[in-house]
Amino acid sequence: MILKENFFNYPTYSEFDTKWGVVLTALGHTHILPNAIYPPLLHPKHHQFSVQKSRRVTEYQIIYIISGKGYFESENGIKSYIKPGTVFLLFPGILHRYYPDKNTGWTEYYVGIKGRHIDAMVKEGFLSVDKPIFEIGVHEKLVQRYNKIFQLVENGMVGYQQFAAGIVWHLLGEILFLERNKTIDSTTEQLIQSVKIYVTEKIAEKIDWYAVSRQHGVSYSKLRKEFKAYVSMSPGQYQLQLRINQAKLMLSQTIEPIKFIATSLGFQNEYYFNTIFKKKTGTAPGIYRNSSRGNSVV
C-alpha cells in the first residue's frame, strides 16, 4: 500500500520513553511529481531544508525511495544517484543533501530515531557514515512497516513509542539482511551451506581447512573470504562457536564432568576450555552450570 497524501510528523517523547533505548523523532511520506517543488511541505525550522543547501540533523533517519530517481551526497565525499528500491541513512551531525531528479520525481518514506541502542549499532559497525546507501530493491513488506509506524503515531495510544521503535528496529534488521544477501549467488550459498554442514559433523575434530577447500574446488583464501562475508566469522571461529553452544547444552542438561565436556568437544584440556568458554560467554563453565540450573541461564 502506498499512501497518496504527503505528510510529516515529529512525535513527542518523554524522559521515560528514552529509557527504552530508541525513540521515534520524525516520520513522513512524500510523493513528488516530475518538475514539482521539493520539499513540498513547510517543515518546522529545526527540520527545514532545501535542495540548494546542505544541512545537518540531530537524529538518524532511514529514507526509502520506492519510485523515481534522485541524488544524495554527504560531506564525507559520498555522492550517489538514487534509484527505486534504495535506502539511504542520515547520521547525526553529518552534512548532507538529497533531492529527486526533476525528470522523474520520487516517492519517499522516512523515519527518524535516536537513542543509545542505535548509537551502539553504529559503534559496533553495523551501520556506518561511510556506507549510508543500501540498494535493496522495492519490497512491499518494508512499505508495510513504514505504514504501521505511521498508524501507531497517528493513533497516539499509550506506549506507541516503544511499539514503533520495535518496528523500526525490525526495519533496520530487514534492510541489513537484504543488503547482505543481495550479492550472494546460488553457487556461493551452496558452498557455505555445505561447509557449515561439514563443520557441524566434525564439531570436535581438528579440521584441515586447506583440504576442505580443495574438496569444494576453491582456494582456502576464497573459502574464508566467502564464508566470513556470509556468516560474519571465519570457518574456524564458526566451529568454535558451535563447540561453545554445545558446551552450554552439556553444562546445563547433563552431569558430565567439565573435563569430559572439554575433551569430548575437541579442546586441548580443561584449562584451555575454561579460558575460551569464559572469553566467549563472560562466565566460567562451573558458574554457568550452577546459574543455568538455578533457572538463570547466562
DSSP letter for each residue of 282-294: SS-HHHHHHHHHT
- Same domain as 128, residue 242: no
pLDDT recorded at residue 100: 95
Domain tally, the chain: 2
Considering the domain architecture, whether residues 177 and 208 belong to the same structural domain is answered as no
If asked whether residues 205 and 155 sit together in one domain, one would say no
Does a structural domain hold residue 1? no
Q: Using 70 as the pLDDT threshold, list the residues of the chain that sit under it.
A: 1-5, 41-52, 183-186, 294-298
pTM above 0.75, yes or no: no
Does some domain include residue 167? yes
Residue 2 lies in a domain: no
| Position 243 in a domain | yes
Q: Is residue 197 a part of any domain in this protein?
A: yes
Distance CA 265, CA 53 (A): 61
State the pLDDT at residue 230. 85
Question: pLDDT value at position 229?
Answer: 86
Query: Is there a single domain that holds both residue 230 and residue 173?
Result: no
- Domain annotation covers residue 75: yes
Q: Going edge to edge, which strands form the sheet with 23-32? A: 7-9, 23-32, 106-114, 60-68, 86-90, 133-135
Task: Tell me: do 227 and 113 sit in the same domain.
Answer: no
Which of 155, 181, 207 represents a domain boundary (last residue)?
181
Tell me the per-residue pLDDT of 45-95, one tens digit each, with 9 for 90 and over. Answer: 555 565 667 788 999 999 999 888 999 999 989 999 999 999 999 999 999
Residues 109 and 163 in one domain: yes
| Segments forming the whole domain that contains residue 152 | 7-181
Q: So what's the pLDDT on residue 190?
A: 78
The single residue listed with the C-alpha cell 501507531 is 152
* 145 shares its domain with 194: no
Please tell me whether residues 94 and 239 are part of one structural domain.
no
C-alpha cell belonging to residue 284 = 566460567
Q: What is the DSSP string of 159-187?
A: THHHHHHHHHHHHHHHHHHHHHHTT--HH
Domain boundary among 125, 156, 181: 181
- Alpha-carbon gap, residue 98 to 101, rounded angstroms: 10
Q: What CATH number did the domain enclosing 249 receive? A: 1.10.10.60
Q: Quick one: 239 and 150 in the same domain?
A: no
Q: For residues 137 and 131, what is the distance between their CA atoms, to the nearest angstrom? A: 17
